[in-house]
């Protein structure tokens, strides 16, 4: 393993969702309504944490540890 | 590593010995609390440099597929797993997709057929350029400020001058950035250590845009690292692999292999490997 502990090649997961209520949800904020605590719980399972973040009107982007 | 959260999709890309697939179950759970149901899944990765260091469920692709299938709802029944080979034995592309018939229709709705995803994996980076991703001793900079320096001195900030960049430098070395430009993301991750240096670049685009756009972007991204070996996966419902070749061949990289496979709800995945002509 590299000195930094990094294995270079990444694993990439993309999940798509649709809303139960076609009038609201996905077309509005959808998954962006996940609170930070929920994101941290998800990332805890992966063994990552958020180290930096940025967002705009379309989506949120997080740089993660590891 | 990076996380992108859109209203209808989430993308997580992690390196190291992270257990990425363990996010599936909590993601489905938290999304359900928002009234959202899973309609599609795509998992991709290259060949690990240190496969024996990977923890469960990443011990093998077969194990990963079993784990994903166990954690997906049964209605995502259109499933396909494939290892796309190359002429370089250590460079294979692993792809798993899942969707169900009803949701596949929505999936296509959310993924217009003009959009493509490009995933670039680079190894054997130019050692002089890779050195830019080491923190300098005594700098006393934190991850944010050191990351900004690396973005600037490496030329990453010129790949897409219109993007807002969020970057971070790891200690003692390594770098991650996310670029956001409207509804498009891009991301770069670097492991610069000599002997197993690695960098990745990923972005999305549209086939309707100027054909030169992706060519220019790929050229700039690869020139930041001048790697000896590059593998590129493109996922799209239309042909875009030719643009990749047009970007890399002028840089002295020769296409050694190309394989194409079709995946339900994802479209066509093309996997190409390039090496420097001197190899």
Closest by CA to B92, choosing from B271, B278, B215, is B271
**pLDDT at res. B210:** 77
- The distance of B203 to chain A (nearest Cα, Å) reads 13
- B196's CB contacts (< 8 A; 6+ apart) are A2, A8, B49, B123
Instruction: Return the residue of B nearest to A21 by Cα.
Output: B35
Instruction: Return the residue of A nearest to B9 by Cα.
Output: A16
Cβ pairs A/B, distance under 8 A: 262
Q: Is the dihedral of CA B215, B221, B224, B226 positive or negative?
A: negative
Q: Is B104 left (phi over 0), alpha (psi -120 to 50) or beta?
A: alpha
**pLDDT at res. A6:** 64
Nearest to B36 among A26, A50, A63 (CB): A26
- A22's CB contacts (< 8 A; 6+ apart) are none
With beta carbons less than 8 A apart as the criterion, state whether B137 and B241 touch: no
> pLDDT (tens digit, 0 to 9) for every residue of chain B, 279 residues total?
999 999 999 999 999 999 999 999 999 999 999 999 999 999 999 999 889 999 999 999 999 999 999 999 998 999 999 999 999 988 999 999 999 766 555 555 555 678 999 999 999 999 999 999 999 888 789 999 999 999 999 999 999 999 999 999 999 999 999 999 999 999 999 999 999 999 999 999 998 887 678 999 999 999 999 999 999 999 998 888 889 999 999 999 999 999 999 998 788 999 999 999 765
- The distance of B215 to chain A (nearest Cα, Å) reads 23
> pLDDT (tens digit, 0 to 9) for every residue of chain A, 66 residues total?
554 456 889 999 999 998 866 555 455 899 999 999 999 999 999 999 999 999 999 999 999 997
**pLDDT at res. A21:** 63
**pLDDT at res. B266:** 84
CB neighbourhood size of B106 (10 A):
22
CB neighbourhood size of A13 (10 A):
23
Closest by CA to B122, choosing from B99, B96, B91, B94, is B91
Instruction: Return the residue of B nearest to A48 by Cα.
Output: B18
pLDDT in tens, B204-249: 999 888 767 899 999 999 999 999 999 999 999 888 888 999 999 9
Whether B38 sits inside 8 A of A16 (CB atoms) is yes
With beta carbons less than 8 A apart as the criterion, state whether B18 and A47 touch: yes
ipTM, two decimals, is 0.95
Whether B1 sits inside 8 A of A48 (CB atoms) is yes
- The distance of A40 to chain B (nearest Cα, Å) reads 11
**pLDDT at res. B138:** 80
């Amino acid at each position: 393993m590299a000195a930094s502990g990094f294995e270079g090649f990444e694993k990439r997961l993309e999940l798509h969702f649709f809303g139960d209520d076609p009038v609201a949800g996905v077309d509005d904020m959808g998954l962006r309504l996940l609170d930070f605590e929920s994101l941290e719980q998800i990332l805890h399972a992966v063994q990552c944490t958020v180290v930096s973040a940025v967002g705009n009107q379309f989506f949120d982007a997080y740089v993660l540890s590891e | 590593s990076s996380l992108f959260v859109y209203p209808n999709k989430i993308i997580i890309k992690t390196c190291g010995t992270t257990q990425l697939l363990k996010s599936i179950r909590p993601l489905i759970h938290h999304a359900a609390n928002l009234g959202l149901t899973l309609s599609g899944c795509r998992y991709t990765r290259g060949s690990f440099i240190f496969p024996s260091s990977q923890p469960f469920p990443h011990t093998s692709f077969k194990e990963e597929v079993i784990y994903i299938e166990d954690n997906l709802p049964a209605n995502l029944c259109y499933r396909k797993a494939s290892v796309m080979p190359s002429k370089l034995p250590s460079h294979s592309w692993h792809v798993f997709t899942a969707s169900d018939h009803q949701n596949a229709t929505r999936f296509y709705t959310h993924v217009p057929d003009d959009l493509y995803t490009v995933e670039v994996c680079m190894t054997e980076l130019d050692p002089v350029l890779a050195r830019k991703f080491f923190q300098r001793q005594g700098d006393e900079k934190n991850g944010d400020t050191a990351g900004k320096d690396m973005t600037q001195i490496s030329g990453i900030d010129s790949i897409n001058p219109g993007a807002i960049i969020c970057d971070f430098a790891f200690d003692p070395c390594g770098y991650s950035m996310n670029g956001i430009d409207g509804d498009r993301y891009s991301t770069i991750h670097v492991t610069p250590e000599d002997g197993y240096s690695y960098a990745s670049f990923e972005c999305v685009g549209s086939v309707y845009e100027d054909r030169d756009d992706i060519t220019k972007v790929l050229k700039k991204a690869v020139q930041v690292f001048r790697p000896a070996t590059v593998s590129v996966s493109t996922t799209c419902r239309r042909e875009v692999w030719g643009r990749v070749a047009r970007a890399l061949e002028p840089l002295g990289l020769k296409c050694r292999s190309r394989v194409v496979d079709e995946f339900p709800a994802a479209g066509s995945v093309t996997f190409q490997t390039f090496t420097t002509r001197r190899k």
